């Protein structure tokens, strides 16, 4: 460990270069070798009973496969078997059953492989780097530091990272302002500004790179506990647990399998009684054909693929439960700014009140906004400049007053002692009254005029003197009304949360087409609305980025934190949007719905399939005892019927893998419409398709003389 003193120009953070920066944007994850790896993984799973026992339906098929393999080796193992070519028949059955299990494991391995590919790309971002750990407790850019490995850093350590160096671990900026390239995490190529003191811009993630200036960072996570580590564990599925719906479906599948196991186990005495003995291999085949193998094989893959689809959207979910909850969401809480309207509101007009001129109004609006670095503040400065306003005081001696949710105003304390403020009209009225001033009806008229246009009115005052109202114009995002219409059709209620006054909020709510709105909202109001909706039995989703959003994010059933947000928000939420785009909440809900629809559709298809297989096998098996007329498909023989049904049963699994991974196409329909559509396509289709498929396979089996 060597000690250094003072600033160093060299890049000590020995990251392995810019080639390590991987663009994780959308579907850019490398898929090379995915299928080869999946085939190997599928074979390993198939040969391991400890893995197989975790999937009840496929474990029954696995046991059946073992029994038919034994029967292929020794056909009279359980007594003299009926029929001809028994060894060939048993061998063919054993091969088909083996491939049925293999295909099921392949589906799961492909889904897991896609998650692992994402984890690999993240892991390559997370390399062990050298870090400059400051030796003094008081941070200073020219302070003494030691070079240590990033794995030696602990929570609370102070490090300095300079331009060109990689940030080794997660942390909080406590000094400095720098541009940070976060493309390795978010895929966004434009660097973002990081600085201390800001609620959202002060957190940095390990694996990102400082591109200008320097940052002094307080480490916020011990090795292995960082954001990237958690993301890797999640996309790899290491922490994946069965969701409530998956658990319920597992019980249903186990019950169905149990019922058919009992049915098949009671056939031999009946068959012997009617004089049509059935071989053990045929009974195994019948059992496999009757139990819901299709959904049993694809259930796990559907869940993993759902997580993967969310991850491809650059959203990391903490669990499958969160993704699934998205599908059941009843209420969406949406921030107005950034979600419904374009983030930056711009000053459009100054409306002076009382005896004040437009120039005076512009002058004080400029004074109130000179320290305001928000886009709104900058637009006020710009508009005031266009109207000829100039700063007529020494800005060095003035003090900026930041906006807060409590005071709902910001401004400047001028060197001569005057206090210039701009903010919510009610707040400014209170400020003026507290200093002995009076409010005028003109102010209320201007406030209403701006609000009725859907704009945000900001009042401007100096101590007890009111100057007028700034009109901040909101622009509603294009297409948002249609999306809310779709959500309404799906039975999802949308609630807009805004700090704006009631009139402005109602105008924007009407224009955007949201179902409800909460005006002049505080962070506590968010929790109240969530609790009210939850009390009605609805699941609630919301987005947030600030520390004050953390309680509401934790309270919501689905909380999506912005990656640019604070550590508290990210930890409280059950999803993190790497692109920090609040509009994505709507897309995530859509993915959750798609996951549930896909699982429901394939379950319907699987159970409907079994009906057709029952009609294929039973009449052919007992044709000799007078139920041959039920052989509606006209299958060649009992053996041919069993083989055809099993081959169809095996082939349908890989045929449905793309649908399971991609998800059923989502349509914004009501629950009733969706049910009707699914029953028609996957229910009726699930009945008809096997009849056609089994008949075609039977023709081939008979033609090649397999049975």
Question: Which positions touch another protein (CB under 8 A)?
Answer: 49-50, 53-56, 59-60, 63, 67, 76-79, 241-242, 247-248, 250-251, 254-255, 257-258, 261-262, 265, 280
Distance separating alpha carbons of residues 117 and 294, to the nearest angstrom = 26
Could you say which DSSP state residue 565 is in? S
* Alpha helices (H) in 141-279, listed in sequence order: 183-186, 227-236, 244-265, 267-273
Min dist. Cβ of residue 50 to another protein (A): 7
Question: Is residue 7 within a helix (H) or strand (E), and if so which, with residue range?
Answer: none
What is the DSSP secondary-structure string of 394-437? -TTT-EEE---TTT-EEEEE-TTS-EEEEEEHHHHHHHHHHTT-
> In sequence order, what are the residues at sequence separation of 6 or more whose Cβ sits closer than 8 angstroms to the Cβ of residue 445?
none
Residue 275, burial from CB neighbour count under 10 angstroms (0-12, 13-18, 19+)? exposed
Residue 265's φ and ψ, nearest 5 degrees, are -65, -25
Nearest Cα to Cα of residue 100 among 685, 698, 655, 689 = 655
Residue 386, burial from CB neighbour count under 10 angstroms (0-12, 13-18, 19+)? exposed
For residue 434, the number of C-alpha atoms closer than 13 Å in the C-beta half-sphere is 10
Min dist. Cβ of residue 98 to another protein (A): 18
Distance separating alpha carbons of residues 347 and 421, to the nearest angstrom = 16
Distance separating alpha carbons of residues 274 and 80, to the nearest angstrom = 18
Min dist. Cβ of residue 76 to another protein (A): 7
Residue 104, burial from CB neighbour count under 10 angstroms (0-12, 13-18, 19+)? buried
Q: Do residues 198 and 374 lie in contact, with contact meaning Cβ atoms separated by under 8 Å?
A: no
* Nearest CB to another protein, comparing residues 241 and 399: 241
Distance separating alpha carbons of residues 355 and 370, to the nearest angstrom = 24
Of 181, 308, 335, 549, which is the active-site residue? Answer: 335
The β-bridge partners of 166 are 209
Q: Is position 335 annotated as part of the catalytic site?
A: yes
* Nearest CB to another protein, comparing residues 75 and 592: 75
* Nearest CB to another protein, comparing residues 123 and 242: 242
Nearest Cα to Cα of residue 96 among 277, 281, 280, 260 = 281
Q: What is the phi-psi region of residue 64: left when phi exceeds 0, alpha when psi lies from -120 to 50, beta otherwise?
A: alpha
Distance separating alpha carbons of residues 35 and 654, to the nearest angstrom = 12
> What percent helix, strand, coil does the chain show, rounded to 5?
50, 15, 35
Question: Is residue 209 within a helix (H) or strand (E), and if so which, with residue range?
Answer: strand 209-210
* Nearest CB to another protein, comparing residues 36 and 48: 48
3-class secondary-structure state, position 171: strand
For residue 560, the number of C-alpha atoms closer than 13 Å in the C-beta half-sphere is 31
Min dist. Cβ of residue 54 to another protein (A): 5
Distance separating alpha carbons of residues 613 and 590, to the nearest angstrom = 34
Beta-carbon neighbour count of residue 74 at 10 Å?
10
Could you say which DSSP state residue 360 is in? H
Sign of CA dihedral 377, 382, 386, 389: positive
Distance separating alpha carbons of residues 454 and 465, to the nearest angstrom = 26
Could you say which DSSP state residue 413 is in? E
* Nearest CB to another protein, comparing residues 135 and 247: 247
Q: Do residues 306 and 662 lie in contact, with contact meaning Cβ atoms separated by under 8 Å?
A: no
Min dist. Cβ of residue 254 to another protein (A): 4
Q: Which residues are catalytic?
A: 335
């Amino acid at each position: 460990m060597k000690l250094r003193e003072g600033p160093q120009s060299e890049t000590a953070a020995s990251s392995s270069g810019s080639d390590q920066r991987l663009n994780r944007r959308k579907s850019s994850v490398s898929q090379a070798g995915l299928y080869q790896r999946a085939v190997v993984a599928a074979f390993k799973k198939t040969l391991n009973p400890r893995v197989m026992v975790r999937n009840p339906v496929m474990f029954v098929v696995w046991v059946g496969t073992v029994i038919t393999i034994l029967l292929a080796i020794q056909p009279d193992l359980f007594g003299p078997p009926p029929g001809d070519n028994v060894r060939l028949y048993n061998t063919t059955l054993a091969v088909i059953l083996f491939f049925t299990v293999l295909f099921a494991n392949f589906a799961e391995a492909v889904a897991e492989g896609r998650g692992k590919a994402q984890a690999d790309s993240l892991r390559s971002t997370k390399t062990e780097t050298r870090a400059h750990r400051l030796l003094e407790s008081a941070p200073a850019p020219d302070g003494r530091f030691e070079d240590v490995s990033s794995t030696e850093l602990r929570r609370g350590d102070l490090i300095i990272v300079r331009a060109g160096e990689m940030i080794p671990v997660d942390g909080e900026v406590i000094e400095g302002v720098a541009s940070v390239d976060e493309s390795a995490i978010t895929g966004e190529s434009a660097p973002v500004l990081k600085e201390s003191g800001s609620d959202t811009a002060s957190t940095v993630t390990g694996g990102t790179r400082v591109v200008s200036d320097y940052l002094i960072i307080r480490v916020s996570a011990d090795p292995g506990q960082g954001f990237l580590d958690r993301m890797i564990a999640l996309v790899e599925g290491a922490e994946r647990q069965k969701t409530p719906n998956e658990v319920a479906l597992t019980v249903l599948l186990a019950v169905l399998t149990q019922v058919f196991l009992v049915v098949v186990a009671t056939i031999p005495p009946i068959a012997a009684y009617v004089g049509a003995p059935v071989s053990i291999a045929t009974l195994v085949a019948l059992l496999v054909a009757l139990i819901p193998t299709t959904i049993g094989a694809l259930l796990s893959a559907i869940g993993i693929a759902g997580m993967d689809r969310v991850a491809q959207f650059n959203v990391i979910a903490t669990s499958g439960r969160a993704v699934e909850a998205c599908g059941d969401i009843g209420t969406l809480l949406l921030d107005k700014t950034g979600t419904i309207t374009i983030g930056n509101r711009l000053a459009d007009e100054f409306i002076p009140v009382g005896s004040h001129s437009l120039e005076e109004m512009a002058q004080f609006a400029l004074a109130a906004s000179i320290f305001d670095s928000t886009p709104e503040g900058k637009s006020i400065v710009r508009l005031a400049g266009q109207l000829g306003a100039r700063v007529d005081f020494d800005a060095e001696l003035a003090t900026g007053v930041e906006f807060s949710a409590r005071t709902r105003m910001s401004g400047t304390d001028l060197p001569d002692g005057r206090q210039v403020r701009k903010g919510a009209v009610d707040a400014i009225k209170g400020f003026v009254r507290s200093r002995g001033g009076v409010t005028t009806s003109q102010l209320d008229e201007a406030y209403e005029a701006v609000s009725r246009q859907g704009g945000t009115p900001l009042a401007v005052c100096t101590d007890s003197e009111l100057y007028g109202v700034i009109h901040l114009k909101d622009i509603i995002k294009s297409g948002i009304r249609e999306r809310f219409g779709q959500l309404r059709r799906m039975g999802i209620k949308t609630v807009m949360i805004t700090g704006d006054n009631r009139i402005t909020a109602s105008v924007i709510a009407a224009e955007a087409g949201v179902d409800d709105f909460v005006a002049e909202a505080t962070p506590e109001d968010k929790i109240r609305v969530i609790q009210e909706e939850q009390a009605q039995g609805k699941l609630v989703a919301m987005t947030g980025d600030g520390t004050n959003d953390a309680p509401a994010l934790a309270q919501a059933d689905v909380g999506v934190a912005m990656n640019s947000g604070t550590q508290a928000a990210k930890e409280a939420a059950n999803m993190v949007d790497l692109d920090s785009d609040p509009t994505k909440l709507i897309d995530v809900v859509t993915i959750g719905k798609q996951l549930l629809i896909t699982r429901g559709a394939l379950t319907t298809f699987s159970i409907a399939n079994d009906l057709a297989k029952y009609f294929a096998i039973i009449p052919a098996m007992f044709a000799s005892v007078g139920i041959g007329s039920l052989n509606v498909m006209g299958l060649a023989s009992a053996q041919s019927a069993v083989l055809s049904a099993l081959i169809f049963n095996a082939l349908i699994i890989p045929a449905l893998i793309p649908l399971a991974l991609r998800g059923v196409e989502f349509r914004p329909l009501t629950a009733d419409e969706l049910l009707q559509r699914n029953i028609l396509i996957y229910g009726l289709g699930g009945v008809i398709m096997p009849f056609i498929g089994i008949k075609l396979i039977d023709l081939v089996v008979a033609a090649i003389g397999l049975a």
